[in-house]
Structure 1
């Protein structure tokens, strides 16, 4: 299980990351580029992965990790159920999302 406190601590540990509101969610950004959001109502994270990373992470636990079910999912946005996701798996995915965004 991943708590908001852990999510926040991990995300803000990366260089130049700031936390900002994004509609009814919390976003974590480098400059203006979002690499992760948090939905408190669903206790769910949405991470910006590339297609290959999305496929790999989803294959670990398809019931708790899945592409967003619209055009955003085809762009790599991936949902993580924080109630059931392993901390080490989420940490790897969040790190990957951060690195994908800073490379652009």
Structure 2
């Protein structure tokens, strides 16, 4: 299980991330681009992945990560069941989403720090 507090802490640990409202959700952005949102009512996160990364993360056991069931899902938007996801899997998915949306320089910095 991943709480909104741990979600927030991880998201804000990435370079140049801001937390802003997005309709009834909380969004996390880098350079004004959303890479993740949190829906407190349904306890789900939505993250932006590439098509390949979406396929990889969606194949994880337990079906806690899956594409949004509409045109947004075809664009890489992926849902995560926060009450069922393993924290390590969530960390990998959120990091991947950040790197998908962030400018190359910032994404490379995160990847470099992850590998140290």
TM over 0.5: yes
Q: Pairwise mapping of residues 1-104 of structure 1 onto structure 2 (< 5 A)? A: 1-61=1-61, 63-103=63-103
CA distance in 2, matches of 1:2, 1:33: 23
CA distance in 1, matches of 2:62, 2:74: 16
Shift in Å at residue 64 of structure 1?
Answer: 1.3
Normalized against structure 1, the TM-score is what? 0.97
CA distance in 2, matches of 1:17, 1:92: 17
Aligned pair count reads 104
Larger Rg: 2
- Which stretches in structure 1 are left out of the alignment for 5+ residues? none
Shift in Å at residue 40 of structure 1?
Answer: 0.1
Q: CA RMSD in A?
A: 1.0
Normalized against structure 2, the TM-score is what? 0.87
